[in-house]
Each structure stands twice: as C-alpha cells, then as structure tokens.
Amino acid sequence: MARGTTDFSREQIIKDGYLKHREPGIVTRWRHRFLVFKVTNAGRLTLIVYKDQPPIPDNELTNIPIEEFGGLDYNMKIDGEKQVLAILTTHVTECFATDSSETLREWRTAIQDYLGKELVLNIDIPYKQKMLKPGKAQMRIRNTGFTITTADTPPKCQGSWQILHIRKFGGSDSFRFETGSKCPSGEFLYVINTEDTQRMKRVFTDLSLHKPIFQDDRTGRRMTQEHQMLQRLRNQMISKSHQQLGPRHSLQNTDRHTYAQASQRRISVQHEPLMSDNRPR
C-alpha cells in the first residue's frame, strides 16, 4: 500500500509488500521476499529486496537503482510461475512472481505510474552495432527515452537512450537514429529493421517536440503541462514574427526554428535515409 512521508523520515514509500523473487544459483529458486519501492532521503528512486520484515539494513538482499530503469514486462511464464513481473535495468533483469493477478496489477500500476508507461515495438538488429547484438529485439519507448532489449523471456536490456541524446532520426526502409556527443555511449548511427518505421518516426517526432505519447502517467502529466506552456510560447513567437515580418513573409522556417529553441531540443527529423555508414562522426 502506498504511503506518504512521515515525521520520522523524508523517505517516500511508493509501494511495498511480499512477492516471490527469482534468485539464481546452482538451482534457480523462487523465494518469498519483502519489497520496498521508494524515494530515498537523497531523492533517488530505488527498489529494495529484503529477506523479510522489518525492512532494515540487516535484512537487505538486493538494492535495484531505478535511475537505470529500462522497462517493465509482465504476465510472463517462467520456471513454473504463471504471473511474473520483470523489472529491467541497464545491467540486470529482476523477476518477481505472485499467485494473485490483482497483486501483479497493483505493482505494475505503481511502477508504471511513477516511471512511465511504454510502447513496445518488435524490431530486428541487422548486424552488431556497439552494444546491440544482431537478431530479434524489442524497442521500449517511454515519454523520456527508449530502451532496446532482447526478445528473450525474460528480456535483457541492450542499450538505453534519452530523447535529448538523439541528434537525428528517420529512414524509409529501415529506422535510423544518430546519437550526439553528449550521449554516454558516444556518437553513433544505429540502424534497425521494423515494420513500424512510420509509426516510430511519428512517435520520435512527438517526443522531440516535448509532446508525450502517454499522458496518463506521472511523466506524461508533467510533459503535457510543459508542452502546453511551450505551445503558448510558440504562439507568442509566431504572433511577434507576424508583426515584424508582415503577412506576406513565409513563417514556416521561422515557426520550426523558434519552437525548437523554445523546447530546448536539438533533434532533426530526416525523412530520407540517413547516410548508410555507421561510423561515429
């Protein structure tokens, strides 16, 4: 059950309770553990797995840094469990199970509402590209960024990017995106095959304009407010440009440029295929 802050601690517990944790070893086993999904005193999101109650340091088994969140998978069947929730981070996939579909839904809703829902699209990696291995994969797109994971059960994260790190995107037969110099993994041109190229371009275009693809989660509500604010600023800039340039002057380029400045984005949309080589530039 979600709880707010108390007089004794500034930590905010978002969700806690018992789930079965998949613990690897010589024999993989499911063990009942107590989980706490919370915001720490330092303002960091974390999911802590305890051996049992009370949730004290002596009982702590695993601390999962949610800042490295890569996605969520659920309703899987693994090792005899039929209702499995997989939490993906950039380094590890942790699996939890329950016998109750209602409990699974509650945990999924709590995590998605706080960290954001995701659009999952099937893709194919044509050849090895940095951390991406060739073969079938999935792209998990959220309001703030996206992750490419394997198509395994459970899936594993291969790479994660923020929308702000994308310099260019587009393509026709395949979808391509180029990361900039500020991206933690460096500059690179990635190529993926998908039947949803046009849909990806529309989604990336919306996100590059700070328009959320999901408006009913925490990140979406915040981005919707910011997008409306930027829209008002955009309209003010267009109105000012009309007054300065006159009605006969075309505002198409001015409109695009001023809105890009207002949203503080540096992403360009390529409707034609990007250059075919994948060497860092």
* Rounded Cα–Cα distance for residues 60 and 62 (Å): 6
pLDDT for the residue numbered 229? 64
> What pLDDT, on the 0 to 100 scale, is given for residue 62?
86
Question: pLDDT at residue 189 above 90?
Answer: yes
pLDDT at 153 (0 to 100): 87
More confident residue, 56 or 1: 56
Instruction: Provide the CA 23 distance to its chain's centre, in angstroms.
Output: 25
Cβ neighbors of 163 (< 8 A, separation 6 or more) are 144, 145, 146, 204, 207, 208, 267
- pTM here? 0.73
Spatial separation of the C-alpha atoms in residues 184 and 165, rounded to whole Å: 9
Q: How large a percentage of the chain has pLDDT more than 90?
A: 33
Using an 8 Å Cβ cutoff, are 163 and 180 in contact? no
pLDDT value at residue 238: 66
Query: Is pLDDT above 50 for 254?
Result: no
pLDDT band per the 50, 70, 90 thresholds, residue 117 = confident
* pLDDT band at residue 36 using 50, 70 and 90 as cut-offs: very high
